Amino acid sequence: MKTHTTNYFDAFIQVAEDSPAKTGEVPPVKGWEKSVANIQFEIISDHPYQYTSDDVLFQTYAIRQGFDQSELDEEREKFFSKGQPCLRASPLTKRYGWGIHSNSEGKVALYGLDSEEYQKFTSDEKLETVKAMRSKRA
């Protein structure tokens, strides 16, 4: 079975052009169930440069699906057997003002739109720089 990946290496995902955020915002918790934004924010902000994009996306999916530990390997293989939207489609980059840096190992960390690091990564010519996907069609 073919395996697809969402990982970037030596790259920076900038905040979407149509994002309303002016700074990196912690996604608000609404109701009793955590949103995709809440889960992704917790994983990446609590563990910078510890997980790849694939790790973050699958952990988010697994948490929301409520998989048992024994199911994770099989479910991960199924999850990546078809293409998945990358972190360019994450609510963190589209709505909440977070840029995502992927290092040379593909491990990710968050940087707020108003931070010095965000500006540094945006202008770093050694990095592949891509914009997050827009929320609305042009």
pLDDT 10s digits, 59-81: 999 999 999 999 999 999 999 99
- pLDDT at residue 115 above 90? yes
Other CB atoms within 10 Å distance of the CB of residue 30: 10
CA-to-CA dists, residue 8 to 5, 20, 25, 95, angstroms? 9, 25, 23, 20
Tokens of 49: 């440069």
- pTM for this predicted structure: 0.93
Alpha carbon distances (Å) from 38 to 25, 47, 106, 119, 121: 11, 14, 21, 24, 24
SS3 assignment, position 123: helix
- The more confidently predicted of residues 55 and 29 is 55
Q: Mean pLDDT in the chain?
A: 94
pLDDT at residue 138, as a whole number: 58
Per-residue confidence at 33, pLDDT binned at 50, 70, 90? confident
